[in-house]
Structure 1
């Protein structure tokens, strides 16, 4: 069953109202630990924009964007997206993936609720893929959003990433198989 819903979930609406500060440490060439390089969208990208993106990212003109709902990006243009692989399940129950501007890829949460706890722990999608779960400092405003909208018990970034990688161990190989 194809998921056609393009309604922006309340949790993502709440995130779009938060400013994510970003600072780069020029000495270490890494982000400062209290920062999340994440720019939330106010709505999902259109189906056409999503198709253009996945075709451009993979070089595969046969793909369409139906399996994705893009909802944020990092400062380099890396994309945070829901990956619609659970037929019949609502958008908030779909896993969250990150596609970096330089080819980085990874599943960062099993659901939108778990993604909220990842952010609350100070880890954004790009940081999760590139640096893992120990890269952030908890963020009070994001903790409040996670408590209100996640619908699940609190999780640490380490728990979120471990569960996501355990459930979707072949995600990277799957995406690589799409590339031309």
Structure 2
């Protein structure tokens, strides 16, 4: 877990995440509501949000590093176990991707993080620059959306258990 007493915390995003978000995928979709951040939220900010979200003013520091949000206040974060998750403003929970590599393949396949949560209402097409980035980062050939979704879905029970334990 992250220690909220850390003063000089490293808020630097992984370079591959910065590169992926710099390719302006998010600005290319009308009505698409995801704002990637330039750095992780501070541990203090995340802890404050977690306490409000769980309704527990004494909740410990959550195991998440927030790197983006939607317009309603929902957060996209890297869970310390590795998955990329979404914690919505109305209590929504989703695993966006099993890990950073699968997150890159999600983007490479033309699907954004919140489209994974809310559903895709268009025919996604691969984005060549993101395909190149995903291949460089993972060393893998193309990974299908179905494989990315299945791996993410397998992580949801653990996320649900974590959240249920925090709000119980």
User: Structure 2 length as normaliser, TM-score?
Assistant: 0.79
Structure 1 pair 148–40 and aligned structure 2 pair: CA distance change class (3 A): farther
- Which residue in the other structure is 1:91 paired with? none
Q: 1:8 pairs with 1, 10, 13, which one?
A: 13
Runs (5+) with no aligned partner, structure 2: 4-8
Q: Show CA shifts across 1:58-115 (max 9, x none).
A: 2122223341111112233321101113xxxxxxxx1110112232211121110111
Runs (5+) with no aligned partner, structure 1: 25-35, 86-93
Which has the larger helix fraction?
2
Structure 1 pair 119–104 and aligned structure 2 pair: CA distance change class (3 A): same
Structure 1 pair 59–119 and aligned structure 2 pair: CA distance change class (3 A): same
User: Structure 1 length as normaliser, TM-score?
Assistant: 0.74
- Which residue in the other structure is 1:126 paired with? 114
CA contact (8 A) 1:72 1:79 kept: yes
Structure 1 pair 153–3 and aligned structure 2 pair: CA distance change class (3 A): farther
Which shows bigger deviation, 14-23 or 127-136?
Answer: 127-136
- Which residue in the other structure is 2:33 paired with? 37
Which shows bigger deviation, 47-56 or 128-137?
Answer: 128-137
Q: Show CA shifts across 1:10-60 (max 9, x none).
A: 111213423212313xxxxxxxxxxx5322211111111111121122212
Q: How many residues align?
A: 160
- Which residue in the other structure is 1:52 paired with? 48
Structure 1 pair 168–101 and aligned structure 2 pair: CA distance change class (3 A): closer
CA contact (8 A) 2:50 2:62 kept: no
